[in-house]
Amino acid sequence: MGGDTIIGKTHKGVIVTLDERISKLRLAYPLNSKHKDGVSAAISTLLRPVKGFVYSITYDNGKEFSGHEQVNKSINCKSYFAKPYHSWERGQNENANGLLRQYFPKTMSLVNVACNEVKIAVNKLNSRPRKCLGFKTPYQVFFERTGIDARQLGVVRL
Is residue 11 scored above 80 in pLDDT?
Answer: yes
Q: pLDDT tier at 158 (50, 70, 90 boundaries)?
A: very low
Is residue 152 scored above 90 in pLDDT?
Answer: no
Range with lowest mean pLDDT among 34-43, 52-61, 87-96, 99-108: 87-96
What stretches of the chain adopt beta strand conformation (E)? 2-7, 14-19, 26-31, 56-59, 78-81
pLDDT of residue 84: 85
pLDDT of residue 64: 93
Query: Measured in whole angstroms, how far is the alpha carbon of residue 23 from the centre of its chain?
Result: 13
pLDDT of residue 154: 56
With residues binned 3-state (H G I as helix, E B as strand, rest as coil), the percentages for the chain, rounded to 5, are 45, 20, 40
C-beta separation of 19 from 130 below 8 A: no
- What is the rounded average pLDDT for all residues in the chain? 90
User: At what angle are helices 115-126 and 91-100 packed, to 10 degrees?
Assistant: 120
Mean pLDDT of 2-24: 91
pLDDT of residue 155: 53
Mean pLDDT of 127-150: 94
Fold classification of 2-152 is Nucleotidyltransferase; domain 5 (3.30.420)
pLDDT of residue 90: 82
Range with lowest mean pLDDT among 11-15, 69-73, 154-158: 154-158
Mean pLDDT of 3-31: 91
Mean pLDDT of 52-77: 93
